[in-house]
Amino acid sequence: MKALSLTVQPVLVRDSAVRILRNAIISGEIKPGTRLIERELCIALGVSRGSVREVIRQLEAERLITVEPRRGPVVTALSVKQISDIYDIRMMLEAHVAQCFTKVATDAQIEELRKIYEKLRLAIHAHDRAGVLVLIQDFNIYMGEVVDNEAIRDTLGFLNARIASVRATAVEAKGRIEAFRVELDDIFNAIVARKPKQAMKAMETYVRAARDAALSVAISDDRASS
């Protein structure tokens, strides 16, 4: 067999570059509306222009980047309607996952969820906003893994990637991080009590509140820029 290093390495480099740029967009490090310049990306990512173009194509397919006439690639900025629509779909899917998890999870799996939940409570208490966002994602991902619905898992992964920078901004809204404690307590307590419908309703309440906070920030930003 021929040596594989020459064919494997470029793929690894490209995938690493995709991951780095994706995370920078999702975390809000690169803001929505930012124009992406190939030369600067080559330097920042340490890859060739050909690799940068592949990265841009990949993230354009994920709808994190939009290629605009005369401007080229820019980080996608969501409209108020798009934000609302994404949160509405998230609310339905995440509520369904919470309901299903409550029905099917073993005691051991609920204990695993408790470990994430306790870390999340500590992050909320410490006002660690970045930690809260990561741990909420871990909390929901774990429930999704147990429920094991590939279609829902893939859809939520796509939606959460698109909305991630909005979530990072919305968590800064006054009183939002304090509200997490009550909302997440309600979700987890319903799961522990094995009350699927209550868990579903609690998750709906949490996502609806998150949507309202995100929309408030988005509308405020629109007004400030107009």
Token look-up 């409209």 returns: 79
Average pLDDT over residues 102-114: 98
Q: How many Å apart are CA 68 and CA 84, to the nearest integer?
A: 23
What own/partner pairs with CB < 8 Å and gap ≥ 24 does 193-196 have? 194/102, 195/102, 196/99, 196/100, 196/102, 196/103
Outline where DSSP puts E strands in the chain. Answer: 65-68, 72-75
* Three-state DSSP class for residue 69: coil
The answer on pLDDT for 190 being more than 90 is yes
Q: What pTM value is reported for the model?
A: 0.79
Looking at residue 175, what is its pLDDT? 83
Range from 3-12, 133-142, 187-196 carrying the lowest mean pLDDT: 3-12
Looking at residue 225, what is its pLDDT? 63
- Condensed to tens digits (0 to 9), the pLDDT of residues 138-177 reads 999 999 999 999 999 999 988 988 888 788 778 877 788 8
Looking at residue 6, what is its pLDDT? 43
Q: How many Å apart are CA 129 and CA 131, to the nearest integer?
A: 5
Q: How many Å apart are CA 52 and CA 68, to the nearest integer?
A: 17
- Condensed to tens digits (0 to 9), the pLDDT of residues 27-39 reads 778 888 899 999 9
Looking at residue 10, what is its pLDDT? 54
The answer on pLDDT for 5 being more than 70 is no
Paired tokens of 187: 């979700």
Q: Distance from CA of residue 178 to its chain's centroid?
A: 20
